[in-house]
Structure 1
Amino acid sequence: MVITPMSFAVSSTPDFILTSKTLKAGERMPMAHVFDACGGDNISPQLSWQGAPEGTESFALMVHDPDAPTGSGWWHWVMFNIPADATELPEGAGDLKNGLIPEAIQVRNDYGAPGYGGACPPEGHGDHRYQFRLYALKVEQLPLDDTATPAMVGFNVNANALAVAELEVVYGR
């Protein structure tokens, strides 16, 4: 058997931009988007994007806290198979009950539930970074379902990514 290496290089293009009406890059995450066990409302933020590269067939969103004291960070939200014609996730799209994007699949976050799970770092641990990364993918759908782990989604996302746009905010308690 011959194993050929896969390329996982993802380019960032200056035209592919992720923004939010409810989050400001580099600033503190509002309490509306903080996990309910930490006093927040646990509502996923509004996100919008523009400038996806030519050939984009779908999008995937992966929200990660690399500063969580786990050795591997903490996955807060993983959604994929977002249609190529989408340009926004409205506030609350991470709630599985709202059905805002029926084609998209949301997998379990590190809280153990599918959908969005807000910031909730350990008390006294300082500010954590919350990286909202939207990937433009060259495939219409990833060959995964809602039982996939964030690591498996990440593997497939990186193998099919054309570009990535990022918005990072901070939160600490």
Structure 2
Amino acid sequence: MKRVIPLILMTVVLLSGCLGEKSESKFSISSVFQENEPIPKKYTCDGININPPLYISNIPENAKSLVIIVDDPDAPRGTFTHWIAWDIPPVKEIPEGIPKKGEVESPVKMIQGINDFGRIGYDGPCPPPGHGVHHYHFKVYALDITLNLAPGSTRKELEEAMKGHVIAEAELVGTYER
């Protein structure tokens, strides 16, 4: 019995030390679908083809801007880009239905580039019928600068401008099949 009490006390002390520590929350992105779950039809070419809302958590304090890149690595000809946007202020929500134009002032300020459909703005999942499940990667990057790239820039130009300025990144993968 005498040996059990010190062991219990030691366990309580160790646990209280662990519980008292602050855990750092991780930069993350979420939406109306969960990780590796289907993207609602509304946000695809079979629906009204608007971007889903994106919820961004634990943005680093030193972030000057955010970047969004949405792509499909399962596309028949290689990774297909569905949306690129940058110079987004460090906001916690990107609402659904961002206008499909180069410079957007409302509801959230951002600059958008050319996707692989050859259009500016978001174009949702639209895999070839019968091609199986595709995985759509919604990536958000926190940068230590604003990029000031011209509207309609390409993904390659965006990624080049981001080099050396990413301070955090997060990803959410949704699926879609036709």
| TM-score, L = length of structure 2 | 0.79
Supply the distance in 2 between the matched residues of 1:94 and 1:15 (Cα, whole angstroms): 29
Supply the distance in 1 between the matched residues of 2:144 and 2:136 (Cα, whole angstroms): 25
Moved over 4 A (4+): none
Q: Is the 8 A contact 1:75 1:110 kept in 2?
A: yes
Unpaired segments of 5 or more residues in structure 1? 1-12
Supply the distance in 1 between the matched residues of 2:37 and 2:124 (Cα, whole angstroms): 15
Shift of 1:103: 3.5
Report the aligned-residue RMSD.
Answer: 1.9
Provide the identity percentage. 36
Q: Across the two proteins, how many residue pairs are aligned to each other?
A: 154
Question: Do residues 79 (structure 1) and 85 (structure 2) align?
Answer: yes
Supply the distance in 2 between the matched residues of 1:107 and 1:92 (Cα, whole angstroms): 16
Q: In structure 2, give the amino acid aligned to 1:129.
A: H
Partner of 1:124: 130
Shift of 1:54: 3.1
Q: Is the 8 A contact 1:135 1:164 kept in 2?
A: yes
Partner of 2:30: 19
Supply the distance in 2 between the matched residues of 1:98 and 1:60 (Cα, whole angstroms): 14
SS of residue in 1 equivalent to 2:140: strand
Q: In structure 2, give the amino acid aligned to 1:161.
A: V
Partner of 1:168: 173
Supply the distance in 1 between the matched residues of 2:67 and 2:35 (Cα, whole angstroms): 19
Please give the residue correspondences for 1:82-121 in structure 2 after superposition, counting only pairs within 5 Å.
Answer: 82-84=88-90, 86-96=91-101, 99-101=105-107, 103-121=109-127
Supply the distance in 1 between the matched residues of 2:177 and 2:40 (Cα, whole angstroms): 11
Q: Is the 8 A contact 1:74 1:110 kept in 2?
A: yes
Q: Is the 8 A contact 2:60 2:142 kept in 1?
A: yes
Pairing partner for 1:152 from 154, 157, 169: 157
Q: Is the 8 A contact 2:120 2:152 kept in 1?
A: no
Deviations 1:65-107 (Å, cap 9, x if unpaired)? 0111113x110010000012x1111111254397425641001
Supply the distance in 2 between the matched residues of 1:57 and 1:98 (Cα, whole angstroms): 18
Partner of 1:30: 40
Supply the distance in 2 between the matched residues of 1:47 and 1:143 (Cα, whole angstroms): 22
Unpaired segments of 5 or more residues in structure 2? 1-23
Shift of 1:40: 1.7
Larger radius of gyration: 2
Shift of 1:117: 0.2
Q: Which has the higher helix share?
A: 2
| TM-score, L = length of structure 1 | 0.81
Partner of 1:51: 58
